[in-house]
Structure 1
């Protein structure tokens, strides 16, 4: 192998490796399915044409059999009237027989070809259905795998940010709770003072009432 061929082979190998690494498997399969579908459609058109040709052969054979019977009857009819015409009828009868043999042989080969083509189309359709089913299955598996990957593949920094956000949130809530607690403490202290002041006021008022009672008693 020449240096140029070796370099070409090496380059081609590397390109194939690169393509295999970056290829879109779904797209590759889709192209294969499309080509298979087109090939199957062409084969069906070809089969339809073969079947039409087969019908033409059958019609021709049927016509030749009718012609053979016709020339046979004519030869018998002319045998006692006109020998030359009778001989011509026999000659044409033999010609019909020869053509009949050729067409029957052609029809036999044609039917074999039609049968093989129909079997190939059936196999192609079955393979195409399998490819479609396998593609749909792989798409489902890929979607599931991507969904799981998106869930389990969360970036650590993102997870850390979320954790810090929860921590800051908890601190804020705790501060709010402490503020509420302080206000409650202040309210309790104020209530205590108010209670004491109210008690003193009531005691003073009571003393006034007692003093008034004493004054009334002295009078």
Structure 2
């Protein structure tokens, strides 16, 4: 493998490894954020269900209080009729027992709602923090990748070094080539003589082919 290819393959492999690590971290962070979102959504649904349950309990408790007041009023109104009055009192006590039990359920449900509300607040805060950190780290990753693409792990210097070595090698060989192809004075002298003889032969041929013209020009 030539040095250029080795350098680029090595740099690419290192960049791919770093990019793979970044992608793994980013994928894990995204999965964690999605899980937090799922938990927060589930908690929000539970809180909504508890709110509806609390509303129903509160409405039922208010209705029982009204019923208790009504049966108490009726018992007093028919006090002279013992049988009817005692029945009103019996119903009054039944309503009061139910109202008491409902009040306990109401308090327990309210306490549970507060706990779930606090949990939802914690999850929401954690989710916002996770998203903020993901954005921050993603930005840092982008700048780091950009810096590595500008000069990937010293790759630019490595490439320059290869070209420098190539240029040095050529510079060392070129003087030898110049000496081997130097100007030969003796050969040039023979070439000039041979060229002159060739020209004379051509001239003699021209004169022989046109003797009358040659004599006329000579007479002039």
State TM-score, norm by structure 1: 0.62
Residue 101 of structure 1: aligned partner: 100
Residue 157 of structure 1, CA deviation: 4.1
Residue 148 of structure 2: aligned partner: 149
Question: Structure 1 unaligned runs (5+)?
Answer: 1-20, 168-219
CA distance in 2, matches of 1:134, 1:166: 49
Residue 112 of structure 1: aligned partner: 111
Residue 143 of structure 1, CA deviation: 1.1
CA distance in 2, matches of 1:53, 1:166: 84
Residue 172 of structure 2: aligned partner: none
CA distance in 2, matches of 1:93, 1:63: 13
State TM-score, norm by structure 2: 0.61
Residue 51 of structure 1: aligned partner: 51
CA distance in 1, matches of 2:71, 2:130: 58
Residue 166 of structure 1, CA deviation: 10
Residue 41 of structure 1: aligned partner: 41
Higher relative contact order (CA 8 A, sep 6+): 2
Question: Structure 2 unaligned runs (5+)?
Answer: 1-20, 169-220
CA distance in 2, matches of 1:37, 1:163: 56
CA distance in 2, matches of 1:22, 1:54: 47
